[in-house]
Chain A
């Protein structure tokens, strides 16, 4: 018998007033996947992430994570099950230094449980995680106020915040946007490392070329619906996908 998928979304829908942000979207995620979600602006990608992580309640449909029905579970409980996300708009805890930002997830019930209470000095754990995520330890960066960091570091900090939770799935909402080519090139090995360490990823992206280097499967959304799904390069040949992207460029 085949093992149940890690994450399964069935016919999920959400309307905001008259706007049908997401309509009948289904997807499955197997352990170890890197699933890409692409689509024009306003096609409902962020809303889909919000629906899966409990930040928005769906009108219809279900979300199953590791066999639990989490459709109406509040976000912090979903995070404690091991499903977390980054946010499209980077808003670190501005008044705290970078490494103190990680104390928040390290104090979650999940981390206390998985690490068996033997967390030791949380500050040291936080600094270790920052180092893993690409902050130079001896430089002063980890001690700087998070609000003063440049965007590249903020993106890493956002990933670090998720990674500190020791999660099974991270949904990354446009983690590459706003970064320079070289910054992205240095982030890609990081994502690969996360995958090797057993984290399953969903990546919402506009940077297709960089995404295709990572994702083994891609879902294309348009006007809230899933219009195509498959292997990256093949999906882009789909006429419906071409039309969605081209139609937008012309308007």
Chain B
């Protein structure tokens, strides 16, 4: 029962108000207040692997790849207006390019990954260009099909090792490189994208999301900006794919698996759509969760759905906004 005679009142903490102006940088306490959440995220992520065993370190690496995908998904959906369900395509192209370079030329993983990140992003962007003129659900459907097409082309033409994939690829020097490469990538990508959405290019992309007609009437080609946004998002995914191929020492059609397209959506909802850091947190929460529930077999999916529905119904704002509110405001009950 909801008590009708009282309601929750929220007030900004005084320190929050004090940190809004420029003069916040003159005071230690205010600076600390501003830096704490960011520092906690960075230090927390970087320290985490030290407390985990081998198995959970592996899970953490996978979570990092999902975090990159979730970040890209959130960026495209909330800041450009493109709901992209084709995350697996970025993973697959990045992975295969890196794997092929490694197996044909014998280049090391640390050389193949940057080349494949760039190459995969260029290739993915080119493939997506025809779909960029579509809007809403149509773009979403087409983007969902791309990884499926790619997988079918590889198996039916039996190229790139067909269903077997390519194995015996060079792996990364050691487990710590593996872990910190992906964690640093996530942190750098997060801060870069947060920066980007407030730069001029970000403002134009948000304009396209809010009203693409007005952007056209302002003399700006929306296609060229959507291409730039697509390129940025596919850089994140292609890096993830290239990284996975050298982490596993193997590439195969499972790099085009639906999980890469779907989990980022759930992570974004859980973390809070549009908050960028939220989906990253969501991925780090959801990936271990789905691992922990592995013992439940098929029932795992059901539990997983309940969690999702719970968030959509009871906490649609997502985890990050919830924590932010607790941090910046205090709540008290007042009589109506």
Q: Do A84 and B200 contact each other (CB < 8 Å), given the known contacts A93-B210, A95-B206? A: no
Q: Which of A75, A79, A164 has most B Cβ within 10 Å?
A: A75
Q: Are B219 and A103 in contact (CB under 8 A)?
A: no
Q: Are B210 and A92 in contact (CB under 8 A)?
A: yes
Q: Is B220 an interface residue (CB 8 A)?
A: yes
Please indicate the chain A residues that have their CB under 8 angstroms from the CB of B210 in the complex: 91-96
**CB 8 Å contact bits of A68-111 with B (1 = contact, 0 = none):** 00000011110110001101000111111000110111011111
Please indicate the chain A residues that have their CB under 8 angstroms from the CB of B183 in the complex: none
Give CA–CA (A95, B210) in the complex, Å. Answer: 7
**CB 8 Å contact bits of B230-262 with A (1 = contact, 0 = none):** 000000000000000000000000000000000
What would 7 more interface pairs be, CB under 8 Å, given A75-B217, A76-B222? A76-B219, A76-B220, A93-B214, A100-B203, A105-B220, A107-B200, A107-B204
Residues B175-234 near A (CB distance < 8 A): 200, 203-204, 206-207, 209-211, 213-222
Cβ-neighbour of B217 out of A79, A96, A109 (below 8 A): A79
Q: Are B203 and A96 in contact (CB under 8 A)?
A: yes
Number of A positions contacting B (CB below 8 A)? 32
Report whether over half of chain B's contact residues are helix, strand or loop; otherwise say mixed: helix
Give CA–CA (A104, B218) in the complex, Å. Answer: 7
Cβ-neighbour of A93 out of B207, B216, B222 (below 8 A): B207
- Residues of A participating in the B interface, judged by any CB pair closer than 8 Å: 53, 55, 74-77, 79-80, 84-85, 87, 91-96, 100-101, 103-105, 107-111, 122, 161-162, 164-165
Q: Are B220 and A108 in contact (CB under 8 A)?
A: yes
Q: Do A109 and B213 contact each other (CB < 8 Å), given the known contacts A96-B207, A100-B203, A103-B203? A: no
Residues B112-141 near A (CB distance < 8 A): none
Residues B22-72 near A (CB distance < 8 A): none
* Closest Cβ–Cβ distance, residue A151 to chain B (whole Å): 16
Q: Are B216 and A104 in contact (CB under 8 A)?
A: no
Q: Are A162 and B220 in contact (CB under 8 A)?
A: no
